[in-house]
């Protein structure tokens, strides 16, 4: 009971404080309007909400398949090999790389050759940050699948690769999806890797090749500004960011628990 | 229809551990053959050599020849082909936990690319009938997960799953040792019915079970096959002193 309170208390405290500070600035315009110049009333963060969604989509498309593929290799095909140990070590180091370093790395690898900031480079930075979490949770979840399940599939004359993809991964799918959600939620709030990549944008943009706004970036800029109106918007942005993450995670959980575990009582 | 199995000079290792030494025997088609012996005597390893599951362990090694229905399984065939012809039921029921009853039975076919609904429906029904589970599950084939059944039902589900790919041989590695007496007797009845269509090899710790279901019995000890004969002879008048000591309970 005490443990429950201790775990839940910080989350509730943060949430309550965000609602207290941010709810007043939340209105329909916040979701439908772009930012307005200083001095004008109103304005919203529509561009940043859409920008974050695009950045996270690009990040997920890059990070989730690579992470899952890596995890499958570690748990099923490369067990005990030098290559697997090297990959596992790399993933653990990557997990510890500060996000600002990730931003600078992607800046020099993608932004500089491209010649300009872009949504794509921001997505790459977020995607790379997702890989280690997805990879290691996938590996751990696959290792939890009992060997008896693998043997049952092999004994039916199913080729090993097919057994891995259709039986082992499927058996571990609930855990793997949780890992992906964790990675997603973690990078959704990242600011540092976007400063040198997505850069931010005061206007509307949906193009991958152009600088794009993102909620965490916008919150960062607004919170550091000297204007009270922007401070209030920053609080509202933080509240929206948290609520959107919770919604996205819940939605994916709901959909997959119905789709993947269909038939399970 | 079942086919006979001829085993010649079979040796098997786990790492440096020589777990099977120079096994020679002929298992007759369409009969049940029991393998008995104390724990660690090599009988499980032996059946795992008959469908090439032994080699799925990276440190395992096999030499010698196993000919099933005229096919030398180590020289002339791939492991996946052999395993479709030689089904296996394991000691602990191991249904696929995220799949429905229907999908569990159809898994072997579906994963090998079969997708005709009508044919699958037919095969699932026939396999569940053959494993005496149909009447208990026919109403929630697709609603219930395989893991939601009782232990005995799960084991019969695993038998149905093995039968669905239409094997010629059915290997059973202590199929009833994790089950209660009622479920055990159901499995034994099943073996009785199935042996008209399949060649059955059953590993068992339970000598009464061997006597009840099998025409032939082999006694394994320390990686060697001590004696192989009709079940009646093994249990009433064994030729080897070691067999007699084991079945009279002097060791093991």
Reported as a single tens digit per residue, the pLDDT across A136-186 is 999 999 999 999 999 999 999 999 999 999 999 999 998 899 899 989 999
Cβ pair A155:B90 closer than 8 A: yes
Q: Which residues contact A39 (CB under 8 A, 6 or more apart)?
A: none
Q: Which two tokens stand for residue A223?
A: 């919170």
In a domain? residue B197: yes
Min distance B150 CA to chain A CA atoms (Å): 14
In a domain? residue A91: yes
pLDDT at A259: 55
Averaged over B233-252, what is the pLDDT?
Answer: 89
pLDDT at B63: 95
End-to-end Cα spacing for chain B: 36
Say yes or no to pLDDT of A261 above 60.
no
pLDDT at B238: 93
Beta bridge pairs of residue B229: B217
Say yes or no to pLDDT of B137 above 60.
yes
> Domain total for chain A?
1
In a domain? residue B158: no
For an interface test with A, which of B80, B105, B140, B173 has the most A Cβ atoms less than 10 Å from its Cβ? Answer: B80
pLDDT at A258: 67
Q: Which two tokens stand for residue A44?
A: 């919203």
Cβ pair A166:B108 closer than 8 A: no
Q: A147 near A76, Cβ under 8 Å?
A: no
The rounded distance, in Å, linking the Cα atoms of B46 and A12 is 60
In a domain? residue A246: no
What's the mean per-residue pLDDT of chain A?
91
The rounded distance, in Å, linking the Cα atoms of A26 and A24 is 6
pTM over 0.90: no
If you write DSSP's letter for every residue of A86-151 in order, what string do you get? HHHHHHHHHHHS-HHHHHHHHIIIIIHHHTS--HHHHHHHHHHHHHHHHHHHHHHHHHTS-HHHHH
Contacts of B107 in chain A (CB under 8 A): 153, 156, 158, 167
pLDDT at A265: 30
> Domain total for chain B?
1
The rounded distance, in Å, linking the Cα atoms of B171 and B199 is 8
Query: For residue B65, what are the domain limits?
Result: 5-94+167-247
Query: For residue A158, what are the domain limits?
Result: 46-214
Query: In this complex, is the C-beta atom of A149 within 8 Å of any C-beta atom belonging to chain B?
Result: yes
Averaged over B4-26, what is the pLDDT?
Answer: 94
| Residue B20 vs residues A66, B217, B251: alpha-carbon distances, Å | 43, 17, 20
Q: B202 near B214, Cβ under 8 Å?
A: yes
The rounded distance, in Å, linking the Cα atoms of B162 and B107 is 10
pLDDT at B115: 85
As a whole-number percent, the residues of chain B with pLDDT over 90 amount to 83
CB-CB: which of A157, A261, A263 is closest to B112?
A157
In a domain? residue B145: no
Reported as a single tens digit per residue, the pLDDT across B155-214 is 999 999 999 999 999 999 999 988 889 989 989 999 999 999 999 999 998 899 999 999
pLDDT at B251: 73
The rounded distance, in Å, linking the Cα atoms of A127 and A197 is 13
By C-alpha distance, the chain A residue nearest B53 is A155
pLDDT at B249: 85
Q: Which two tokens stand for residue B31?
A: 């009969």
Contacts of B54 in chain A (CB under 8 A): none
Q: From edge to edge, which strands make up the β-sheet containing B5-14?
A: B17-27, B5-14, B60-68, B71-72
CATH number at residue A96: 1.10.3720.10
Min distance B176 CA to chain A CA atoms (Å): 16
Which of B18, B17, B33 has its CA nearest to residue B169? B33
In a domain? residue B111: no
In a domain? residue B218: yes
Reported as a single tens digit per residue, the pLDDT across B170-181 is 999 999 988 889
The rounded distance, in Å, linking the Cα atoms of A177 and A163 is 19
| Residue B11 vs residues B16, B21, B59, B63, B171: alpha-carbon distances, Å | 12, 5, 14, 5, 19
Averaged over A221-238, what is the pLDDT?
Answer: 91
Band of pLDDT at residue A264, cut at 50, 70 and 90: very low
Cβ pair A155:B165 closer than 8 A: no
In a domain? residue B125: no
In a domain? residue B29: yes
HSE (side-chain half, CA atoms, 13 Å) at A61: 10
As a whole-number percent, the residues of chain A with pLDDT over 70 amount to 97
pLDDT at B252: 59
Say yes or no to pLDDT of B149 above 70.
yes
In a domain? residue A258: no
Q: A92 near A158, Cβ under 8 Å?
A: no
Cβ pair A167:B96 closer than 8 A: yes
CATH number at residue B51: 3.40.50.300
By C-alpha distance, the chain B residue nearest A257 is B98
Reported as a single tens digit per residue, the pLDDT across A44-77 is 899 999 999 999 999 999 999 999 999 999 999 9
Q: Which of residues 65-94 of A touch B (CB under 8 A)?
A: 80
Instruction: Give the number of A-B residue pairs with CB atoms closer than 8 Å.
Output: 90
pLDDT at A99: 93
Cβ pair B87:A156 closer than 8 A: yes
In this structure, how many other beta carbons lie within 10 angstroms of the beta carbon of residue A131?
25
Q: B238 near B232, Cβ under 8 Å?
A: no
The rounded distance, in Å, linking the Cα atoms of A161 and A179 is 22
Q: Which two tokens stand for residue B210?
A: 């061997």
What's the mean per-residue pLDDT of chain B?
92
As a whole-number percent, the residues of chain A with pLDDT over 90 amount to 72
pLDDT at A38: 82
In a domain? residue B90: yes
Phi then psi for residue B10, to 5 deg, are -80, 130
Reported as a single tens digit per residue, the pLDDT across A1-19 is 889 999 999 989 999 999 9
Contacts of A154 in chain B (CB under 8 A): 53, 56, 83
Say yes or no to pLDDT of A263 above 50.
no
Say yes or no to pLDDT of A262 above 50.
no
By C-alpha distance, the chain A residue nearest B52 is A155
């Amino acid at each position: 009971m005490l443990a429950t309170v201790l775990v839940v208390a910080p989350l509730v405290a943060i949430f309550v404080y965000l609602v207290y500070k941010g709810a007043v600035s939340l209105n329909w315009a916040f979701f439908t309007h772009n930012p307005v110049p200083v001095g004008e009333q109103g304005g919203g963060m529509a561009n940043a909400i859409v920008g974050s969604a695009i950045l996270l989509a690009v990040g997920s498309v890059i990070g989730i398949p690579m992470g899952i593929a890596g995890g499958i290799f570690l748990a099923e095909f490369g067990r005990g090999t030098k290559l697997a140990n090297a990959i596992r070590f790399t993933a653990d180091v990557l997990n510890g790389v500060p996000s600002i370093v990730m931003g600078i790395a992607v800046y020099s690898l993608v932004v500089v050759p491209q010649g300009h900031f872009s949504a794509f480079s921001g997505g790459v930075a977020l995607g790379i940050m997702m890989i280690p979490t997805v990879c290691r949770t996938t590996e751990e979840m696959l290792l939890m699948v009992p060997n008896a399940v693998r043997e049952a599939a092999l004994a039916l004359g199913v080729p090993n690769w097919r057994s891995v993809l259709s039986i082992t991964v499927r058996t571990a799918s609930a855990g793997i999806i949780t890992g992906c959600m964790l990675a997603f939620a973690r990078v959704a709030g990242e600011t540092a890797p976007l400063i040198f990549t997505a850069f931010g944008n005061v206007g509307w943009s949906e193009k991958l090749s152009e600088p794009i706004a993102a909620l965490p970036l916008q919150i960062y800029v607004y919170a550091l500004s000297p204007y009270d109106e922007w401070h209030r918007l920053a609080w509202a942005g933080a509240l929206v960011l948290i609520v959107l993450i919770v919604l996205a995670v819940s939605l994916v959980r709901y959909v997959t628990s119905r789709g993947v575990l269909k038939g399970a009582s | 229809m079942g086919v006979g199995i001829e085993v010649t000079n079979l040796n098997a290792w786990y790492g440096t551990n020589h777990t099977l030494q120079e096994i020679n025997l002929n298992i007759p088609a369409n009969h049940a053959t029991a393998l008995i012996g104390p724990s660690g005597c090599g009988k499980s390893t032996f059946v795992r050599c008959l469908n090439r599951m032994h080699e799925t362990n990276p440190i395992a090694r096999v030499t010698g020849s196993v000919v099933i229905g005229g096919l030398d399984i180590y020289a002339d065939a791939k492991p996946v082909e052999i395993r479709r012809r030689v089904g296996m039921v394991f000691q602990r029921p191991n249904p696929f936990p995220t799949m429905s009853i229907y999908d569990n039975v159809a898994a072997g076919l579906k994963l090998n690319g079969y997708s005709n609904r009508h044919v699958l429906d037919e095969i699932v029904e026939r396999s569940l009938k053959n494993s005496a589970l149909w009447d208990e599950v026919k109403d929630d084939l697709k609603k219930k997960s395989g893991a939601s059944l009782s232990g005995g039902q799960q084991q019969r589900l695993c038998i149905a799953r093995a039968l669905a790919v239409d094997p010629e041989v059915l290997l059973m590695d202590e199929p009833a040792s994790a089950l209660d007496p009622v479920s055990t007797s159901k499995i034994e009845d099943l073996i009785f019915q199935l042996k008209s269509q399949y060649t059955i090899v059953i590993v068992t710790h339970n000598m009464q079970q061997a006597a009840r279901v099998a025409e032939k019995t082999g006694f394994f000890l320390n990686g060697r096959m001590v004696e192989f004969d009709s079940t009646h002879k093994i249990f009433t008048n064994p030729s080897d002193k070691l067999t007699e000591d084991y079945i009279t309970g002097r060791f093991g």
